[in-house]
């Protein structure tokens, strides 16, 4: 059982002093969404769970000062969460060597599984310090998915008329209350002072009005362009069920189309917005 291995490893890391805190999943009751737990004593390792409710991207907890204060972390990641971790390292937000990363093979999170899982090609994390898997035979099955599967929802949406698309976003953004849950749960939204919180002068209207909401959503999406790891945590956190996934997909598709880039897929690759290349497109400069 994965969970037994996780608990054993957690207890060992803490008692050996490899980590001071193990960031994993806890759960109030079976079938309820799991949430982050911060285990600091080996004897608490049995609080950890592992099941299809482990949707949270725990990489997002690393940015929080309350969590940094706990000491050297070990963190449990699924394949999609690992992509965020790779981006955080690329953007110098974490020092990879100072974090012990526990990868867990994942065959889908959520019940029914989250939309992203249908086209997942990172079921087994690849660059973790250790990886815990169901069985060795499953390990052999490397699954790849065509990009058409990744962007199917986007492509269906883009077949609508521009008017229909605008009407859709008006209705979606119309429900936004500016609670910033989408930002707070995002591993890559780590700015200490978000541009949405700048008030001297105010850059983005704080009002949850059509103008203020379009400004917020376009800014959020653009700030995550070619950085978003596609964990869909923002969409899951939104109390108004705004389809943030669709917005993120549009930018991910653009990054893949124009730069052959998928965020966090390869720790060696340089991010398009963070590296200069002579081959960079400049045909948009008139």
Q: Could you say whether residue 251 binds ligand SF4 (CB under 6 A)? A: no
Alpha-carbon distance 251 to 256, whole Å? Answer: 9
Pick the binder of ligand SF4 from 12, 133, 165, 178 (CB under 6 A).
178
- Out of other proteins, ligand SF4, none, what residue 84 binds, judged by CB under 5 to 8 A for its kind, is ligand SF4
Instruction: Tell whether residue 149 is a contact of ligand SF4 (CB under 6 A).
Output: no
Q: Is 182 in the site for ligand SF4 (CB under 6 A)?
A: yes
Interface residue with ligand SF4, options 37, 45, 194, 228 (CB under 6 A): 228
Query: CB 247 → ligand SF4: shortest distance, Å?
Result: 9
Binder among 164, 195, 240, 273 for ligand SF4 (CB under 6 A): 240
**DSSP secondary structure, the chain, as one string:** -HHHHHHHHHHHHHHHTS-SEEEEEE-SSTTSPPEEEEE-SGGGGGG---STT--S-GGGGGG-HHHHTT-SEEEEE-HHHHHHHHHHHHTTSS-GGGSEEEEE--S--TTTTPGGGGG---SS-SSSSEEE-S-HHHHH------HHHHTHHHHHHHTS-HHHHHHHHHHHHHT-----HHHHT-TT---SS-GGG-BTTBSS--S-SHHHHHHHHHHHHHHTTTT-----HHHHH-TT---HHHHHHHHHHHHHHHH---TTS-TTSPPTTT---TT---TT--
Q: Which is nearer to ligand SF4, 181 or 269 (CB)?
A: 181
Q: Which stretch in 11-19, 38-46, 66-74, 110-118 sits in contact with ligand SF4 by CB under 6 A?
A: 110-118
Question: Is 62 a binder of ligand SF4 (CB under 6 A)?
Answer: no
Contact partner, 93, from other proteins, ligand SF4, none, Cβ < 5-8 Å per class: none
Q: Are 213 and 176 a contacting pair, CB within 8 Å?
A: yes
Tokens standing for residue 255: 């990054």
Q: CB-wise, 32 or 279, nearer to other proteins?
A: 32
Report whether 122 contacts 98 (CB < 8 A).
no
63 touches ligand SF4 (CB under 6 A)? no
From the CB of 199, what's the least distance to other proteins, in Å?
7
Chain residues that interact with other proteins, rule: CB under 8 A:
28, 32-33, 35-38, 40, 56, 60-61, 64-67, 69-70, 175, 177-181, 183-185, 193, 197, 199, 202, 205-209, 212, 233, 236-237, 239-241
Residue for token pair 């209705």 = 171
| Contact yes or no for 212/31 (Cβ under 8 A) | no
By C-beta, is 66 or 136 nearer to other proteins? 66
Binding status of residue 171 toward ligand SF4 by CB under 6 A = no
Contacted entry of ligand SF4, other proteins, none for residue 166, CB cut-off 5 to 8 Å set by kind: none
Q: Which residues bind ligand SF4 (CB under 6 A)?
A: 78-80, 84, 106-109, 114, 116-117, 120, 122-123, 176-182, 185-188, 224, 228-234, 237-240, 242, 248
């Amino acid at each position: 059982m994965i969970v037994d291995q996780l608990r054993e490893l957690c207890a060992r890391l803490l008692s050996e002093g490899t980590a001071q805190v193990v960031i994993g999943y806890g759960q109030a009751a079976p079938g309820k969404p799991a949430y982050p737990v911060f285990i600091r004593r080996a004897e608490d390792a049995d609080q950890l769970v592992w099941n299809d409710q482990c949707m949270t991207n725990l990489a997002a907890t690393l940015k929080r000062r309350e969590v940094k204060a706990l000491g050297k972390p070990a963190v449990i990641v699924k394949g999609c969460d690992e992509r965020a971790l790779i981006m955080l390292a690329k953007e110098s937000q974490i020092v990879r060597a100072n974090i012990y990363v526990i990868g867990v093979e994942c065959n889908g999170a959520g019940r029914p599984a989250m939309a992203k899982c249908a086209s997942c090609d990172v079921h087994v994390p690849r660059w973790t310090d250790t990886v815990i898997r169901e069985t060795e035979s499953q390990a052999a099955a490397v699954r790849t998915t065509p990009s058409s599967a990744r962007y199917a929802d986007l492509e269906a949406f883009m077949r609508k008329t521009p008017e229909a698309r605008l009407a859709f976003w008006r209705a979606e953004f119309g429900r936004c209350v500016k609670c910033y849950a989408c930002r707070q749960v995002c591993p890559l939204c780590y700015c200490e002072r978000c541009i949405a919180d700048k008030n001297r002068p105010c850059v983005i209207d704080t009002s949850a009005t059509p103008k203020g909401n379009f400004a917020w959503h376009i800014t959020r999406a653009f700030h995550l362009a070619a950085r978003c790891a596609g964990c869909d945590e923002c969409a899951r956190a939104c109390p108004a069920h705004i389809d943030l996934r669709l917005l993120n997909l549009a930018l991910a598709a653009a990054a893949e189309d124009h730069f052959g880039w998928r965020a966090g897929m390869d720790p060696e690759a340089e991010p398009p917005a963070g590296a200069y290349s002579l081959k960079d497109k400049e045909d948009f400069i008139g």
